[in-house]
Amino acid sequence: MRSKILIRNLYKIYNEKKENEFFALKNINLNIKCGEIVIIKGISGSGKSTLLSLIGALSKPSSGDILVNEQNIAKLPDIFSSQYRNEEVGFIFQSFNLVDGLSVYDNVKAPLVLSNINQDELKKKINLALEVANIAHKSQQMVSNLSGGEKQRCAIARALVNSPSLILADEPTANLDKNNSLIFVDILKKFKQLNKTVVVATHDTIFDNLAFVDTYVNIEDGAII
Amino acid sequence: MINKNFVDFSILLLLKDKKEYLFSFFIFTFIVFLASSILFISDSIKHDLFIALDKQHQIIVKNTKSGRYTPLSEEHIDSILQISGVDNVKGKVDGYYYFAQDRRYFHIVVDESLDEHSMIISSEIKSILAKFKYTTQFNFLTQDGITSLDIKKVIKSNIISNDVILVNEDIARKILNMDEDEYSYLDVLVPNNSEIDFISLKIVDLYPDIKVKTKNDLKSDYEYVFYYKGGIFMILYIVSMISFFILLKNQISSVFGEKKREIAIFRSIGFAIKDIIFLKFIQNSVVALCSYFLGVFLAYIFVFIFGAPLLKNIFLGHDASHIIFTPIVDVKTLFVMFIFTVIPFLASILLPAWKIAVEDMSEVIK
Ligand SMILES: Nc1ncnc2c1ncn2[C@@H]1O[C@H](COP(=O)(O)OP(=O)(O)O)[C@@H](O)[C@H]1O
Ligand SMILES: [Mg+2]
């Protein structure tokens, strides 16, 4: 499975029809092909996270369509949009969003518990993801004891564990030092080899002028420029 | 279909947060413990009362004069025997002896198997007599001097037998100062239950001063005693209710704050609203079931093995220290209690969990 994304006339309005109404996204049109790496650039507050959360079905647009493999995820009921997030999307968040109090292994397991697969397959998938994200050696550690870079690799393993075709990363290097940021750029390359479609929202210049990136999109005040 | 991976994961999260659940667990156990203890005690008392009642005949006849009870005679027995439908009439000797030293009444009951020198007493009475150094015998003060009886046996105190002294019929008359042909009450045997009310009326027709009580009347008298105790029940229920609200508040707040973010994380990796609710349902069912059974178990031990100290006195007054509760477990009421405690407990967590789950997940993106 590979993902292509077609975004048409997309609007996101916060506090719609209230005094503090705010147009976070204005008439976004975007075409992302299968296996493409797309970097969305823009200053803080320009609307990058909002766009990612719409593509990932974390929230609903005010109007417009988001077609992922011809399916309009803007109009899915909760059960199906949850299934979409679970099976087709892998998220990598700025603040990692790991579940404190659980081990690396159990965090990576979380997306799999919704499907009724047997224990062997479960273990195989988790170990593979830990391997790819280069965090297998810490699998029994509590996530609260990890360094920033390790937390992110745990989050990457969790994003990959269900073999999604689409990876969404929001400010992936914001909480990392230079060295770990470069490691993430390498991981992006790995995603490219694995033929994943990847959308990264960032204002970090480390992503500028990368040869393997297919598209750079600049966003300002909620509009593509 | 229940997914084992999901259930395992829910339990894993429960164990991770066990500290937060511990408070709910203890309060809920306490409520169930208190409610079951009340239930066990009242069921046990009722049981003993009704067992005693079952031994009686269908109609109890007492005589009154100016509103006070007075003895009945052989003449009463003979004329009631004449009423058709009456199989047998037994004259009973029964009454109260005032023990002035301790300002207490002893209930004198006849036991034909005893001889003129002995008596059977309850463990409560035994302890009262012992206070006044009567350990092997007791001297009753009667009309013609002192009647001395040996303690032959001590029986367990229950709600009926607590203040009872069993003696031979002649001795009972002596202690209660009754003549040879006098009786405290008559026990009327009516084989056909449907005739009881009719025969009761006939007896009252014969003697207007006579008070007739059927078994059903007695039953409702006993129930009445329980309603009188209702005030105490109210207090205990209020205590339970207050604890319950503390519990609910704790339950609800356990879904907000840190947990709110956790729910958003699970939503972001693909948990649907129904999955979040099911997750919370599994966790809280485990907590509720464990504390329910622990509470009932502890109540059983507390009431039937330790005799419910403190609570017993609330129910039966300060003379109750020797009363033993017959172990009675009414599964039906336990089940009703289960419904009335476990369901609000679950609802208290599921509703807020649902409310959080339907919110959008933008929090995770910050
Ligand atoms: N839930 C919300 N309610 C109101 N305004 C919001 C909300 N989320 C984001 N915004 C606003 O929308 C704009 C875009 O936010 P965001 O997408 O987070 O930007 P970026 O990720 O590019 O920094 C910002 O001005 C922000 O204040
Ligand atoms: Mg952002």
B277 interfaces chain A, CB cutoff of 8 Å: no
Of A78, A87, A113, the CB nearest to B273: A78
B268/A97 Cβ within 8 A: yes
ipTM, 2 dp: 0.95
pLDDT in the model for residue B290 = 93
In a domain, A25, yes or no: no
Domain final residue, candidates B215, B248, B270: B215
B62 and B206 belong to one structural domain: yes
What residues of B are in contact with residue A98 (Cβ under 8 Å)?
265
B69 and B118 belong to one structural domain: yes
The residue of chain B nearest to residue A201, with distances taken between CA atoms, is B365
Smallest CA–CA separation between B19 and chain A, in Å?
Answer: 12
The residue of chain B nearest to residue A92, with distances taken between CA atoms, is B365
A91/B274 Cβ within 8 A: no
Over residues A138-165, the pLDDT tens digits come to 999 999 999 999 999 999 999 999 999 9
Retrieve residue B366's tokens: 């910050």
Around ligand 1, the residues with Cβ closer than 6 Å are: A 14-15, 22, 24, 42, 44-50; B 362
For residue A207, pLDDT beyond 90? yes
B268/A85 Cβ within 8 A: yes
B72 and B211 belong to one structural domain: yes
B349 and B267 belong to one structural domain: yes
Of A60, A91, A102, the CB nearest to B268: A91
Domain final residue, candidates B152, B180, B215: B215
| Three-state secondary-structure class, residue B237 | helix
Residue B114's nearest CA partner among B183, B175, B165 is B165
Smallest CA–CA separation between A182 and chain B, in Å?
Answer: 22
Q: Which residues contact B312 (CB under 8 A, 6 or more apart)?
A: B41, B320, B321, B323, B325
The residue of chain B nearest to residue A59, with distances taken between CA atoms, is B360
Burial class (CB in 10 A: 0-12, 13-18, 19+), B49: buried
B123-131 — which CB contacts under 8 Å span 24+ positions?
B123/B154, B123/B155, B123/B156, B123/B157, B123/B322, B124/B157, B124/B162, B124/B163, B124/B319, B124/B321, B124/B322, B124/B323, B125/B163, B125/B164, B125/B165, B126/B151, B126/B154, B127/B321, B127/B322, B128/B99, B128/B102, B128/B104, B131/B102
> How many domains does the structure of chain A reveal?
1
What residues of A are in contact with residue B271 (Cβ under 8 Å)?
82, 86, 114
Write out the residue range of the structural domain in which residue B173 sits: 58-215
- Name the E strands within B190-304: 210-214
Domain final residue, candidates B215, B248, B271: B215
Smallest CA–CA separation between A211 and chain B, in Å?
Answer: 28
What residues of A are in contact with residue B361 (Cβ under 8 Å)?
53, 58-59
B17 and B156 belong to one structural domain: no
In a domain, A203, yes or no: yes
B181 and B119 belong to one structural domain: yes
Give the predicted TM-score (pTM) of the model: 0.79
For residue A72, pLDDT beyond 90? yes
In a domain, A20, yes or no: no
pLDDT in the model for residue B220 = 75
A109/B268 Cβ within 8 A: no
pLDDT in the model for residue A140 = 95
B12 interfaces chain A, CB cutoff of 8 Å: yes
| Three-state secondary-structure class, residue A33 | coil
B272/A82 Cβ within 8 A: yes
Please check whether residue B277 is in contact with residue B354, taking contact to mean a CB–CB distance below 8 angstroms. Answer: yes
Could you identify the atom of ligand 1 that is nearest to the CA of residue A44? 23
Residue A104's nearest CA partner among A141, A54, A67 is A141
B200 and B70 belong to one structural domain: yes
- Interface-testing mutation among B269, B276, B356, B362, with chain A (most A C-beta atoms within 10 A): B269
CATH number, domain with residue A83? 3.40.50.300
Smallest CA–CA separation between B276 and chain A, in Å?
Answer: 11
pLDDT per residue of chain B (366 residues) written in tens, 0 to 9: 678 999 999 999 999 988 888 888 888 898 889 888 888 887 888 788 778 777 777 788 888 787 788 888 888 888 888 888 888 888 889 889 998 888 888 999 998 888 888 999 998 899 899 988 888 889 988 887 888 899 998 988 887 788 889 999 889 998 988 888 889 988 888 888 888 888 888 888 888 888 888 877 777 776 666 655 555 566 667 777 777 777 777 767 766 767 788 889 999 999 999 999 999 899 989 998 999 999 999 999 999 988 888 877 777 766 666 777 888 788 887 887 788 778 877 887 888 888 888 877 776 766
Q: Which helix (H) or strand (E) holds A52?
A: helix A48-55
Q: Which residues contact A135 (CB under 8 A, 6 or more apart)?
A: A104, A150, A153, A154, A156, A157
pLDDT in the model for residue B219 = 75
Site to substitute for ligand 1 among B359, B360, B361, B362, most atoms within 8 A of C-beta: B362
In a domain, A166, yes or no: yes
> How many domains does the structure of chain B reveal?
2
- Interface-testing mutation among B12, B20, B268, with chain A (most A C-beta atoms within 10 A): B268
B11 and B145 belong to one structural domain: no
B314 and B259 belong to one structural domain: yes
A197 interfaces chain B, CB cutoff of 8 Å: no
For residue A105, pLDDT beyond 90? yes
What residues of B are in contact with residue A162 (Cβ under 8 Å)?
270
Write out the residue range of the structural domain in which residue A129 sits: 36-61+77-220
